[in-house]
Each structure stands twice: as structure tokens, then as C-alpha cells.
Amino acid sequence: MSAPVGWDRHRDGVARLLRSYAAIPPDAPVRLRKRTSNLFRARDATRAPGLDVSGLGGVIEVDQIGGVAEVQGMCTYEHLVSATLAEGFVPLVVPQLRTITLGGAVTGLGIEATSFRNGLPHESVLEMDVLTGAGEVLTTRPGDELFDAFPNSYGSLGYATRLRIELEPAPRYAALRHLRFDDLELLTKTVHEIVETASWDAEPVHGLDGVVFSPHEAVLTLARWADDPQGVEPSDYTGKSVFYRSLQERDTDLLTMHDYLWRWDTDWFWCSRAFGAQNPVARAVWPRRLRRSDVYHRMMALDRRFGIAARLDARAGRPEAERVVQDVEVPLERLAEFLFWFDAEVGMRPVWLCPLRLRRAEGPGGDDTRAGRPWPTYPLEPHTTYVNVGFWGAVAVGPTAPEAPLNRAIEAKVADLDGHKSLYSEAFYDRETFDRLYDGPHLAAVKARHDPDDRLTSLYDKAVHRR
């Protein structure tokens, strides 16, 4: 368990951060000094000193009475969950990978199976402190210009040093039910019913996601929180078994809440197969502590740095591959259309599905206080169900690979379907399209007010120019 660090250590961490900001030359870019990242886009190398965030990686305190936690911006969800589970709580949305930070999920975008009822991570933030480009730590709340523009700004407006977030009671177990479909239109109708009622077959649904193995084989996984295992032994997918394969093999399952939250991390969804980690022989000797997403991410970074896979492909005479690592949101009613197009034009299998809606939070008197609140930098429509579609891998395309033809086609298709694309990976939009999709003029205006000397890299330069 991760013990809270307390307020004194938090203040020390902020002071260290501000000292590191002051040490950066005025003409140098302001960036984080971090060893790890969950971003999948390279950026220009720089030797400029970065912000020292080493003192901002913990939970400050968990308030059981108020059901909230005060959390430092660089705290990973692994440490956050460890601290809250010890107090009987869990964040409203826990992204799938252990080393995603809370600040990263808010300034970027996080999502998970509870997003159909709890929205996105930034929607459960009650207050946060942000280090701006001007070197000030400002406290900001929902409705403030800086707060509302912060989600999907990826550090272009500053970095969160502290976040107060809502929590919900944590069950002991997640009871899973796998529904299989050979008809994507029927899957779409089922998602609609579950999202509208938060139930299926008279049982509550607390978590909802799915996997499409092919256009004629898909699985929705319904999770129900439970405190009584009813004599069932929880499954363990950190051993020889692989979670995503169980979706095709089992109708029901039971996981501890801890293991449910990290069910996708152990094998990085299904991407660990690229490193041989799903081979039974390799899995038998691969230490459990090294079966986790950040290990695979480092292995991938080494491959990119030294071009190992590209050289092996060239030696074997295989066509050059284009990396296609993306998460996109499409309206539920356009989901089947996108999936059929994607399978025909891109051909990657499987893909992940995760329904989401902007959070519906009732205020005093039952008023729906948040539905309809815009998040301008990632403008999803209120009262609308979207489905996140995630796909991660490489596709052989030949000599056009450096031009990213598949990624560009995906961007165009998603825009045609009134969807959006996350910016944690590579993007290829022209400036006019980018500004239209991500409210560029408003973001630039907010940035100018809080970063008058332009110390922080703009969102467009981060996402497209990879600076």
C-alpha cells in the first residue's frame, strides 16, 4: 500500500518544482523532467533542463468522510489506487495502465470501463493547482477559464501540481459477464440500452467495455461490483493465463477489484505478444513483476531507437510497416460503420471498445449540473454516447510508410463521423483542421493570458510537430 505523503512534503515538492523553473533559461522551453511517459509520439531532442517533479508523485491525503482525495500531479494511478483502496475507495475512472499519472490523465485524456457512467477523469476533479508558463501556481476550479481548457491541453497550459478528486466506495470484487456478438448493429443496440439504464437482465452494470476480434466476433464485458464472491475463486491473469483470451473462452468471471483495475496492464491489452510474453515458454520464466505496460513501453522505445524491427523486416523482405497507435471516439450510432471501414482499410485485429458519456452529476434538487458543460479543447456533445475505439500496432504498407497513409485516413474518417481523436500519439492534421477540431483559437487565448512569454510549447506543436 502507498501511504499518503502529507501536506508538508507536498509543499516541499512544490518548492523544488519552482526552484527548477527559476533555473531554466528564459529562452529555453519549459518541460517536465521525467524518466517515463505514456505518450506514443516522439519529440525533438533537447538538452535544456526540465522541471523537477520528483517531489510530486504521491497521494497527499484521503478523506473518507468527504469521499475525496488530495493528490499530487505526478502521482501514478498505481500509487493512487493503492492508497484509496486501503481506505475503501477508488477513483471514479481509473485508466488502464498503471503508470499513467493523474495529472497526465487530466491534461491528456483518460478513459476506462466506468466512463459510460462517470465520464472522463477530469470530470471528477473538484479543484487543482496548476504551474503556468508564467511560473505561478494558480488554484483553479470548474467554470474557471484555465480549468475548463485544461483537459486535452497536454501541458501547453501548464502542469497540475495538486488535484482534489471525488472517490466512490470500492467493492471487493468485480463479477464479469461476457456477451458475444456476431452482429455489430446488435452490439450497438445493447450498448445503448446498458448506457441508458446502467443495467442488463435486471442486474446493475458498473463497468462496460469490449473487444472486437473481427466484424463478426465481438465481446462486451459487463462488470458488476460485488463484495461476496459466492464461493467462486477469483481468476488470476498475472500468471500463465492472458485476460483478453478469456473473453472468447468464458461466459462469466470474477476478479478482485485490484486485479480488475489492472486487468489490461499485465499484457498491455494484447500488445505483449509482440515481445513474446504470451508464449507459454517465455511466460513461464518472465518474472511477474516485469509483466506490465511500462516494461513493454521501454522495450518498444529501444526498438524504435535502434530500428530493430525495421531492420529485421527489411532483411526478411517484408514491406515497410506504418505504426498505427491511436484511440478515437465515435458516436455510438456510427460505431458499426467505423468498425467495418477500419477492418477493411486498416485490418488490425483485435480492437478495444469503451463507451463513454459526459458525466451526469446531479446537484441539489436533482438538477443535472454538469451535463451540457463544454470542455472546449475536446468538445464532446452532452447527452451523447460515444465509443472509444483503441488500436495499437503496425501495418505493412510498403514505401509510403513514412507518409503515414493509414493514420491520415483514420483522421479523415473519424472527422467525417463527427468523432474525435486523442492526441497522446502521432497526429498529422493541418493547422486549420486542428484548430477547428480542438478549439485552437480559444486555447491560444487562454495560453496567452497564463503564459505571456510563450514558455510552454503549444498544443499543435506538441501533437503535430512533436516539439
Q: Is residue 372 part of a domain?
A: no
Question: Domain span at residue 133?
Answer: 7-170+453-463
Q: Is residue 158 part of a domain?
A: yes
φ/ψ bin of 318: left (φ > 0), alpha (ψ from -120 to 50), beta (otherwise): beta
Tell me what pLDDT residue 382 has: 87
Q: Is residue 55 part of a domain?
A: yes
* Measured distance between the N- and C-terminal CA atoms of the chain, rounded to whole angstroms: 37
Which CATH number do you get for residue 84? 3.30.465.10
Sheet holding 173-181, edge to edge: 252-256, 173-181, 217-226, 207-214, 351-356, 386-396, 321-331, 420-421
The mean pLDDT of 153-167, rounded to a whole number, is: 97
Q: String of b and e for 62-100 (b: at least 16 CB within 10 Å)?
A: beeeeebbbbbbbbbbbbbbbbbbebebbbbbbbbbbbb
Q: Is residue 73 part of a domain?
A: yes
Residues forming a β-bridge with 362: 368
Report which of 70, 73, 75 is spatially closest to residue 58, judged by C-alpha positions.
75
How many CA within 13 A on the CB side of residue 31? 19
Task: Decide if pLDDT at 454 tops 60.
Answer: yes
3 state DSSP class of 221: strand
In this structure, which amino acid lies at residue 73?
Answer: G
Tell me what pLDDT residue 310 has: 73
**Structural domain tally of the chain?**
1
What phi and psi values does residue 24 have, to the nearest 5 degrees?
Answer: -80, 125
Q: Is residue 150 part of a domain?
A: yes
Tell me what pLDDT residue 48 has: 62
Q: Which three cell numbers stand for residue 328?
A: 478515437
The mean pLDDT of 374-402, rounded to a whole number, is: 92
What phi and psi values does residue 152 have, to the nearest 5 degrees?
Answer: 75, 15
Asked if residues 163 and 106 have their Cβ atoms less than 8 Å apart, the reply is yes
Describe the crossing of helices 293-306 and 308-316 by its angle, rounded to 10 degrees.
60
The mean pLDDT of 359-388, rounded to a whole number, is: 70
Q: Where does the pLDDT of residue 444 fall: very low under 50, low under 70, confident under 90, or very high at 90 and above?
A: very high
Asked if residues 323 and 394 have their Cβ atoms less than 8 Å apart, the reply is yes
The percent of residues above 70 in pLDDT, for the chain, comes to: 93
Indicate the length of the chain as a whole number: 467
Q: Is residue 115 part of a domain?
A: yes
Task: Decide if pLDDT at 47 tops 80.
Answer: no
3 state DSSP class of 112: coil
Residues 271-330: tens digit of each pLDDT = 999 888 999 999 989 998 999 988 888 888 777 777 777 776 677 778 899 999 999 999
Residues 106-145: tens digit of each pLDDT = 999 899 999 999 999 999 999 999 999 999 999 999 999 9
What phi and psi values does residue 342 have, to the nearest 5 degrees?
Answer: -60, -45
Residues 75-106: tens digit of each pLDDT = 999 999 999 999 999 999 999 999 999 999 99
The mean pLDDT of 9-24, rounded to a whole number, is: 96
Compute the mean pLDDT over every residue in the chain, rounded to the nearest whole number: 92
Task: Decide if pLDDT at 45 tops 60.
Answer: no
Asked if residues 197 and 116 have their Cβ atoms less than 8 Å apart, the reply is no
- In whole angstroms, give the CA distance from residue 42 to residue 55: 26
Q: Is residue 175 part of a domain?
A: no
Q: Where does the pLDDT of residue 188 fall: very low under 50, low under 70, confident under 90, or very high at 90 and above?
A: very high
Asked if residues 329 and 420 have their Cβ atoms less than 8 Å apart, the reply is yes
Q: Give the distance from CA 5 to its chain's centroid.
A: 25
Q: Is residue 29 part of a domain?
A: yes
287 cis-preceded (ω within 30 degrees of 0):
no
Residues 223-250: tens digit of each pLDDT = 999 999 999 999 999 999 999 999 999 9
